[in-house]
Amino acid sequence: MSNERNDFENIAEYLNPPSFTRYLAVDIRPRSFGFIVVENEAVLDSGIRMCEQVRFDDCLGQRFDRILRTYSPSAVILRGTAGIKANLKKREVVTAIRQEAKQRGADVVSVKPGAISHYFRRYDATTKYQVAQVVATIMPELAWKLPNKRRPWESEHYRMSIFDAAAVVIVHLEL
């Protein structure tokens, strides 16, 4: 009987190794969010989830919950939204994400925007696109998702949200 128990513990340890730390970084937009899942500096998944509805509880909340259930991260990393310039809607979404993550047992970490710009200055990356290029260099799995450089009359490509989320996790992990 004790032999069977040891086998079960070994299997459980194999399925959920204690040394692995999985992070979910999220970049919030008014009707979408970009995300990246990183485990031990390897990108497991990344993408965008969009909804036409403005309320987080409905569509976006369900999509976020599905990502939480799928990956069971140990921590959710967000860009800080405490400043005066922070959008009220964005703050509401951050609050909802914090609640969902805590219900799933994940820690919530907030990274200040100033820390992000300070970190990427060491790579001479001052614009958003330059930061995305550095992110694609640090995480080559994302390089194929890097959109072309935006022209002044064009709106930002929706995939830039993935790179904003990746920048947050890079600063948090200091890769």
Domain boundaries, the chain: 21-173
pLDDT tens column, 89-105: 777 778 888 889 999 99
Structure confidence at residue 162 (pLDDT): 97
Question: Looking up tokens 């060491």, which residue turns up?
Answer: 122
**Residue ranges in the chain modelled with pLDDT below 50:** 1-2, 5, 8-9, 11-12, 14-15, 17-18, 84
CB 142 within 8 A of CB 135: yes
What does CATH list as the number for 21-173? Answer: 3.30.420.10
